[in-house]
Structure 1
Amino acid sequence: MFRISEMFRAPRFALAACLLGSLTLAPAAQAADTLMMATTTSTQDSGLLEYLEPMFKKETGIELKWVAVGTGKALEIAKNCDADVLLVHAPASEMEFVKAGHGIDRRQVMYNDFVIVGPASDPAKVKGKSTVEALGGIFTTKAGFVSRGDQSGTHKAEEKLWKQAQITPDKDSQYFSAGQGMIATLNMAAEKQAYALTDRGTWITFADKMGDKNPLVIIVEGDKALFNQYSVISVNPAQCPKVKKDLAQKFEDWWVAPATQQKIADYKLKGKQLFFPNASK
Structure 2
Amino acid sequence: MQVYRSSRPRLLRQSVFVSSLGPVCRRHASFLRPLDWVKGKLASGIKETQSPEEVQAAKEQAKKQGTSNVFEDVVTVKPPALPRAKKVKQIAKSRLPPKQLPNSHKYSTANFKISHRKLNMLGRQIAGKPIDYAILQMQFSEKRASTRIMNMLATARDHAGRYKRLQEGKLVVAEAWVTKGKRPPTRIEPRGRGHYGTRTHPNSKLTVVLKEGKTIEEQKAAARKKKLDRIVSAALQREDKPIRNPSPTWGW
TM over 0.5, shorter chain: no
Flag the structure with more relative contact order, 1 or 2, with Cα contacts below 8 A and sequence separation at least 6: 1
Greater percentage in strand: 1
Task: State the TM-score, normalized to the length of structure 1.
Answer: 0.18
Task: State the TM-score, normalized to the length of structure 2.
Answer: 0.19
The structure with more radius of gyration:
2
